[in-house]
Structure 1
């Protein structure tokens, strides 16, 4: 290609880049991130799975009593169309049952012991076995904690839960109290279309794009359709969490909420970097770090 042709191509690329930069916009403010919240947010992963059986009413109540800012949980849909909470797609790891949640009815799930396999000593003891810990519904949580902020992850399912989930959020007036997350881009896109007034975090592909753009300091070119980046410290050999990443996210008006941070040293480091919250199995440790 002749030099003049290269110059023309470069000129066009520079013009396109300038237009993208000029037209890019940061995320809008959302009521979920209210100014009166106590930042950085203590976000209890599954209600604090390092302290008690995760994704249970027992965990959520104890986390609330501890004074955490946000309850984090995982939502599935049952065979009979009820939204229930559990981390895995099957009940095998945490209960005394077997099978996929999506192939079971709510009545079948309610018969299971949701504290059956929780242990802190590699199976030597199971302190919550037979204690009446059951699989909760999303509606039960909304009813019990109407004033609590929640991060709710849409898990992998065959059936869509966008419509019933949105209807439930609206029924309990939780539009400004919940942040919806998912690793599955298609599920998050359909939820946003169904429930545009509710805040969401970034899906997997959105996170990847933003992280890669921040490496050559091009984060300002990105116009996010989400309000939060819930990310690991590193992924696929790429370091995600750095002070520069936090700065780039904040310039796009995005909250940064790393997961799953369970040790005091890492908590202190990330808090010093200015993160907006930490997703943790050990909310008790973070509460101590923050002096609450």
Structure 2
């Protein structure tokens, strides 16, 4: 190839780079992250799953009493179309029942003891058994905490829960209080189409792309459709969250919220790097650390 041909190729590549840089846009502003919020945000993972039975109204009541900034939860859909909170697709791990949530009606789910298998001493004691803690619906949480910010993760399901989810958000006017998350890119895409006014975090592929671009110092060319990067500190042997990663995200108008951090040393390090939120099973530890 001649020198002239190489010169043309370089000019062409440079033009592409300039075009991408000029046409790329940072994340659109949303009301979810308001100026009067305390940062870093204390995000109670499942309401604080190492303090109380997670994804229950009981946990959220206690987390709210602590003064946490954000309640995090996971949604599934029952056989009769009700959105309920639970981390797993089955009820086996946390309740006294068995079976898939999607195969059970709300009435059947409400008969279960949602505090049955919660234990901090590897099953020697079960302090919340028989305490009346039941499977919680999303509507119950909206009714109980209309002013609270929430991160709500759409879990795996056969039936789509996007439309009833969006309808519930609008019914309780939670559009500016809710940040929607999911590991599944198709579910996030479906939700954004149905409920475009509600903020979302990045799904799996979106997160991967941004992480790789940030490692190559090319994140400035990325136009995010999301508002937040909810990421682990490490994944698959790769360090995701670094001080440089946080700076790159902020340059694109993105918040960085790290999960699931339960030790004080790591919390302190992330705070010093300027992360916007920390998702934790121990909101009591994080609240003490930030002096609230």
TM-score normalised by structure 2 residue count: 0.99
Query: What residue is the counterpart of 1:198 in the other structure?
Result: 198
Pairwise CA distance, 1:29: 1.3
In structure 1, how many angstroms separate the alpha carbons of the residues matched to 2:249 and 2:69?
21
For the pair 1:26 / 2:26, whether they are aligned, the reply is: yes
In structure 1, how many angstroms separate the alpha carbons of the residues matched to 2:183 and 2:2?
46
Pairwise CA distance, 1:17: 1.2
In structure 2, how many angstroms separate the alpha carbons of the residues matched to 1:220 and 1:206?
15
Paired residues, number? 292
In structure 1, how many angstroms separate the alpha carbons of the residues matched to 2:182 and 2:171?
22
What are the superposed Cα offsets for residues 15-44 of structure 1, whole Å, 9 maximum, x if unpaired? 111100111110121100000001110000
Query: What residue is the counterpart of 1:254 in the other structure?
Result: 254
Query: What residue is the counterpart of 1:127 in the other structure?
Result: 127
In structure 1, how many angstroms separate the alpha carbons of the residues matched to 2:219 and 2:237?
20
What SS class does the counterpart of residue 258 from structure 1 fall into?
Answer: strand
- Which sections of structure 1, spanning at least 5 residues, go unmatched? none
Structural RMSD (CA):
0.8
Pairwise CA distance, 1:114: 0.4
In structure 1, how many angstroms separate the alpha carbons of the residues matched to 2:50 and 2:7?
59
For the pair 1:267 / 2:257, whether they are aligned, the reply is: no
Pairwise CA distance, 1:6: 3.0
Pairwise CA distance, 1:11: 2.0
In structure 2, how many angstroms separate the alpha carbons of the residues matched to 1:189 and 1:151?
17
Query: What residue is the counterpart of 1:150 in the other structure?
Result: 150
What are the superposed Cα offsets for residues 174-199 of structure 1, whole Å, 9 maximum, x if unpaired? 00000000000000000000000000
Query: What residue is the counterpart of 2:282 in the other structure?
Result: 282
In structure 1, how many angstroms separate the alpha carbons of the residues matched to 2:3 and 2:76?
58
For the pair 1:104 / 2:66, whether they are aligned, the reply is: no
Pairwise CA distance, 1:5: 2.8
Pairwise CA distance, 1:48: 0.3
Q: Map 1:179-194 onto structure 2 (within 5 A).
A: 179-194=179-194
In structure 2, how many angstroms separate the alpha carbons of the residues matched to 1:181 and 1:7?
45
Pairwise CA distance, 1:237: 1.5
What SS class does the counterpart of residue 258 from structure 2 fall into?
Answer: coil
For the pair 1:226 / 2:236, whether they are aligned, the reply is: no
Query: What residue is the counterpart of 1:51 in the other structure?
Result: 51
In structure 1, how many angstroms separate the alpha carbons of the residues matched to 2:208 and 2:36?
31
Pairwise CA distance, 1:216: 1.5
In structure 2, how many angstroms separate the alpha carbons of the residues matched to 1:260 and 1:6?
49
Pairwise CA distance, 1:8: 2.2
Query: What residue is the counterpart of 1:17 in the other structure?
Result: 17
Pairwise CA distance, 1:2: 3.9
What SS class does the counterpart of residue 188 from structure 1 fall into?
Answer: helix
Query: What residue is the counterpart of 1:210 in the other structure?
Result: 210
Query: What residue is the counterpart of 2:66 in the other structure?
Result: 66
Pairwise CA distance, 1:14: 1.5
Pairwise CA distance, 1:3: 3.7
What SS class does the counterpart of residue 72 from structure 1 fall into?
Answer: strand
Query: What residue is the counterpart of 1:163 in the other structure?
Result: 163
Q: Post-superposition, which runs of at least 4 consecutive aligned residues in structure 1 deviate over 6 A? A: none
Q: Map 1:77-92 onto structure 2 (within 5 A).
A: 77-92=77-92
What SS class does the counterpart of residue 75 from structure 1 fall into?
Answer: strand
What SS class does the counterpart of residue 259 from structure 2 fall into?
Answer: coil
- Which sections of structure 2, spanning at least 5 residues, go unmatched? none
What SS class does the counterpart of residue 231 from structure 2 fall into?
Answer: coil
